[in-house]
Amino acid sequence: MVTVTHTTASGAGSGPGGTISDGEGDAGHTLSRATARLLGRTTASAGAVEEITVGSGLTLSAGSLSASGGAGWTQIATSGTLSGTGYDFTGIPNTYADLLMVWQGVSHNNGSNTTIQTRLTTGVSDTSQFGITTSAAASSTWYGALFIPGYTKPAGIMLIGTVSSSSSALLDFNSFGNGSSLVWRLSGGVTAWRVAPGAGSFDAGTLTLFGR
């Protein structure tokens, strides 16, 4: 709220004498402004205060200006260096629209070829665990991402893009076949997400989960 001390004159307009009309301010000398406006100045050089509108990607509510979340991805969690027979992202918040899991240098230590697999859960019921890479040796390292749009819904799809490569600069075909997608169904939506080798353990790489 902006308050000023001024001289009022009924029916008078603003003028150099410092008077403003009653319609421009109430008895408490509070200036009226349209909703969802900030006061500042965008015109170059010093001058009068101007109204500033709230642009896209921002919200102004209860006196607070904040990002609306539509501008990009927010990191939810990261695995750190992978080890063990699998990794679970648990307690995934339901405050986002989509999920993205990024893979960097993921590998396993099994003595023979195996796939990397994934499973979704609500914390009460689970989907089956499903292979999302081709079967590969322990020397293989995997990169790519998994994308779930609308993960809070009771059903949806998972888009899959993974490839095994040691190159630091890569643009390649997806190693996962069958249309590079899976269909899932979970009453209550996804609250946890597991990735695991089909046999053996993880021995390198990181997984990072993002939401938007």
CATH at 170: 2.60.120
Angle (nearest 5°) at CA 24 between 19 and 28:
90
Structurally, how many domains does the chain consist of? 2
Domain final position from 67, 84, 118: 67
Rounded Cα distance between 13 and 19, Å, is 7
* pTM, full prediction: 0.66
Residues 119 and 39 in one domain: no
Residues 134 and 51 in one domain: no
Rounded Cα distance between 1 and 134, Å, is 62
Residues 59 and 112 in one domain: no
How many beta carbons lie within 10 A of that of residue 115, not counting itself? 17
Rounded Cα distance between 55 and 150, Å, is 25
Rounded Cα distance between 79 and 60, Å, is 35
Specify the amino acid at residue 124: V
Residue 2 belongs to a domain: no
Q: Are strands 87-89 and 58-61 parallel, antiparallel or unpaired?
A: unpaired
Rounded Cα distance between 40 and 49, Å, is 5
Each of the 212 residues of the chain gets a pLDDT tens digit; together they read 455 555 555 555 555 555 555 555 555 556 677 777 778 888 988 888 888 887 756 777 777 777 665 558 999 999 999 999 999 999 999 999 999 999 999 999 999 999 999 999 986 667 888 888 888 999 999 999 999 999 999 999 999 998 887 777 777 776 665 458 899 999 889 999 999 999 999 999 999 999 99
Residues 63 and 86 in one domain: no
Residues 113 and 133 in one domain: yes
Q: Which long-range contacts (CB under 8 A, 24 or more apart) does 14-20 make?
A: none
Distances (CA, A) of 169 to 100, 107, 158, 175, 212: 21, 18, 25, 17, 26
Structural domain including 186 reads 74-211
Residues 59 and 129 in one domain: no
Rounded Cα distance between 169 and 172, Å, is 10
Residue 1 belongs to a domain: no
Domain final position from 20, 45, 67: 67
